[in-house]
Amino acid sequence: MELFHNLVFGFSVALTWQNLWFCFVGCFLGTLIGVLPGIGPLATIAMLLPITFNVPPVAALIMLAGIYYGAQYGGSTTAILVNLPGETSAVVTCLDGYQMARQGRAGPALAIAAIGSFFAGTVCTLIIALFGPPLAELALKFGAPEYFSLMLMGLVAAAVLAHGDIIKSFSMVAMGLLLGIVGTDVNSGMARYSFGIPELTDGIGFIVIAVGVFAVGEIIQNLGDPEERKIFTNKVTGLMPTKEDLKRSMGPIIRGTGIGAFFGVLPGTGPAIASFSSYMVEKKLAKDPSRFGKGAIEGVAGPESANNADAQCKFIPTLTLGIPASAVMALMLGALTIQGIAPGPQVMTQKPDLFWGLVASMWIGNLMLVILNLPLIGMWVMLLKVPYRLLFPAIMAFSCIGIYSVNNSSMELYLTALFGLIGFMWMKLDCPPAPMLLGFVLGPLMEENLRRALLISRGDPSVFVTRPISLGFMIATVLIIVVMVLPAVKARRGEITG
Amino acid sequence: MKFDWRNNRDFFAGIMYISTGSAGWWIARDYPFGSALRMGPGYFPIVLSALMILFGIYVLLLGVRNNEKIQGNWSIRALIVLPLSTVIFGILMEEAGFIPAMAALIPISAAAGKEFKWGEVILLTIGLTIACAAGFIYGLGLPYPLIKGMWGY
């Protein structure tokens, strides 16, 4: 009954005009950037983060969350209609979604993607409401060793599940951790890696790295290798899926939601992994796997549910434990910090309106997204026709204004230019930037907790394996590594993430 | 296959890691290291730098063995012009105000692409500047003068 009470309270917060408006703005922006290839939720949220300072905390978080899960909806539209993933998580949707569009069934493909996402969103809203409070209670028992082990697990998961060579991903994690050190050491007050530049004693801003690598670097990359955009379907007619479609999709949607929720709770993984896994599962379970890649609706329904479930369940570790489960989630916590709210398990009890309002807004947002994405699909198709040469200067303009507004100083802009170059180099050398970003975010937290843990244990490292919760995270970390270096899994990993 | 360092993706990735790690070590060499019990500010940086160097050697050897090439094309033009436009925006925001900064940023960044049409770019510049001024300065109240030295700023 408490759950019911809490949800009613959440809806009473989310249904105010102001919060509804910000939820709509978030979902709209999310769909927009989801549809447009070349700009993702990470860069967008990073750009908008500084300006959320002027907005009340609940509204700010509702809007930023809307951008994140809205992008998962929008990403599928581009995948189905243009055979280009609007977001990385929609890569698999291209396989069967585009084939369906070529067979004149773009409407049902879009509809099933939206229905699956909506189902996943509804289920995950309930999951967060159900498991959030007990998890937060558990998290209150966490000490420094538990936090360190948990973050270690997240970093290992992020490195292992990134594409390419595992050692290269681990190096990128180390790179992120090193970048995170830049600035004043909390314990000794010593400025590290600051090169005597006063702005650097506060550390490099997360937003600077995120926008530098994922907006500027990405544009440099895209201008070197222009992608071809061919819109196959000019007009989407007949949105309604047939009875047969719905029957085929039911299983994949339910399984995809489960897979997405599982990966969502696991720190360090992104929605792409969830959708890939769901696709693989559906292909394995199908009576006739040869249909996959030729327009099987299961190949759209499963992954699209999975990526939305993942995006929403990522809020569970983030809000209950106070540690960012992914780079985007780090921005959400950043938004809290800007508002003067310390992230952590206490948020739920001290700011119940924030937690429950956000949870309720997610369900409302999902409903808005179905409406935004289905009846209004024509608008997005038109938007897809905007050529890239007009798009990227606009992205640059928003990026620069966003970066400048962080500290009202141009130093951040110079650093962004530098990270644009570095990010481009990383992409060319096939060094995945996503694990770097998580390392960067978690670096200072990890160092802090490592020091504290060893101080409590008087320098005895066994503290990480003698405390039961910490031991559990350590075992999970080892398992992730062991499983991934097994030859059979290694081959499969190449297939999935390659 | 014979080893070829030119355009060798992992070889250069290894070099990048080794040089980052070495630089990290070199700068942190004077930070107090401390002990496991009481870690000094140098502990974490030195351990990480050492790890980077080790990983870097592995990746470099990987490149020697697999000879994977760097994929795709380069746009030297974009590589120079885009970061430059960001820097110019920064300078103009401090020195001249919002409108001059936008009026420089948009055409310069647009020039990073292969197709550049004057008419289109001018329209884009005017449109975006007005939209951003309305949204960010009037809508969200960011405290930037449109043009420095005018209207009492």
pLDDT in tens, A260-280: 998 888 877 777 888 888 888
pLDDT 10s digits, A412-436: 899 999 999 999 999 888 888 888 8
Residue of B nearest to A457 (CA): B37
- The encoded tokens of residue B13 equal 């990735």
Facing B140 at nearest CB: one of A51, A193, A417:
A51
**What's the pLDDT at A228?**
64
Q: For residue A90, which phi and psi values (nearest 5 degrees)? A: -100, 10
Facing B89 at nearest CB: one of A413, A428, A447:
A413
Facing B110 at nearest CB: one of A389, A413, A447:
A389
Q: 26-85 in A: which are within 8 Å (CB) of B?
A: 51, 54
- In this complex, is the C-beta atom of B94 within 8 Å of any C-beta atom belonging to chain A? yes
Secondary structure letter of residue A192 according to DSSP: E
pLDDT 10s digits, A92-111: 888 888 888 888 888 888 88
| Interface ipTM | 0.91
**What's the pLDDT at B54?**
94
Helix residue spans in B3-137 (DSSP H): 9-28, 43-66, 76-95, 98-110, 118-132
Secondary structure letter of residue B116 according to DSSP: -
Q: 109-138 in B: which are within 8 Å (CB) of A?
A: 109-110, 112-116, 120-121, 124, 128, 132, 136
Q: Cβ–Cβ of A459/B89 closer than 8 Å?
A: no
Percentage of chain A modeled with pLDDT above 70: 94
A-interface mutation test, from B30, B35, B48, B66, most A Cβ less than 10 A away: B48
Which of A157, A164, A431 minimizes the C-alpha distance to A269? A157
Q: Cβ–Cβ of A420/B115 closer than 8 Å?
A: no
Which helix (H) or strand (E) element contains residue A266?
Answer: none
Facing A396 at nearest CB: one of B35, B90, B109:
B109
* Cβ contact B25:B50 at 8 Å: yes
- Helices B9-28, A166-181: axis angle to 10 degrees equals 30
Which of A313, A347, A383 minimizes the C-alpha distance to A68? A313
| Interface size, chain A vs chain B, as Cβ–Cβ contacts under 8 Å | 197
Secondary structure letter of residue A173 according to DSSP: H
The pTM (predicted TM-score) of the whole model is 0.84
A497 CB contacts (<8 Å, ≥6 apart)? Answer: A161, A162, A163, A164, A273, A276
